[in-house]
């Protein structure tokens, strides 16, 4: 895959994503966000919907769930950094969390 | 809840769980295990089955998923340590992973 973001694309994508709570991860070329839901059913229900999309997009998150909280890290392991796929998956996660 | 394990119960439960790969967590009264599956669909499919049981048991794991790997930590936050509920959930996870 050669979809690594160039500097301009990266700056644009991060500007958009930061508005919804995404942050760059220190020490890694990755982005992270913590999602909070009303309870476990809502949190895991969202994860299940994301999981199906992630599999369909063939791009999977690193994520951690504790009750109603889900911490997500996105990066593209195959290119060792952020790609267009991370941006797409982040935006899909936002949409599914509305 | 007053289902905190006493020393004997704890030793017995840990002996059983350690046989299947569970370990005590350093610095916390908790147990942990890493489950490996064939791929993301298998990993998340297992998580979905565990999630429904966890909600039914009203006892939820701390867990982290990266592609085909799921790292689980179990403890009972309300009593600040291991309870019978952790043992039950750990055994249910084992059964669902077979």
Domain boundaries, position B20? 7-97
Show residues of chain B in contact with A63, CB under 8 Å: 64-65
Residue A25 token pair: 């991860």
- pTM for this one? 0.94
Any chain A CB within 8 A of the CB of B69?
no
CATH number for the domain that contains residue B49: 3.30.1360.20
Q: Has residue B33 been placed in a domain?
A: yes
**Model confidence pLDDT, tens digit, residues B12-68:** 999 999 999 999 999 999 999 999 999 999 999 999 999 999 999 999 999 999 999
The count of domains in chain B is 1
For residue B1, is pLDDT > 80? no
Q: Are A44 and B51 in contact (CB under 8 A)?
A: yes
Question: Does residue A2 lie within any of the structural domains?
Answer: no
Residue among B66, B74, B75, B85 with most chain A CBs within 10 A, to mutate = B66
Is B48 within a domain? yes
Question: CA A76 to CA A86: how far, in whole Å?
Answer: 7
Judge whether A54 lies within some domain. Answer: yes
Q: Does A62 map to a domain?
A: yes
Residue B88 lies in a domain: yes
- First and final CA of chain A: distance in angstroms? 30
């Amino acid at each position: 895959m050669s979809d690594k973001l160039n500097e301009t694309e990266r700056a644009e994508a991060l500007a958009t994503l930061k508005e919804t709570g995404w942050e760059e991860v220190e020490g890694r070329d990755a982005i992270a966000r913590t999602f909070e839901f009303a309870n476990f059913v809502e949190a895991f229900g969202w994860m299940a919907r994301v999981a199906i999309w992630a599999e369909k997009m063939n791009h999977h998150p690193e994520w951690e769930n504790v009750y109603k909280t889900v911490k997500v890290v996105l990066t593209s392991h195959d290119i060792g950094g952020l790609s267009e796929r991370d941006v797409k998956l982040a935006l899909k996660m936002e949409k599914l969390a509305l």
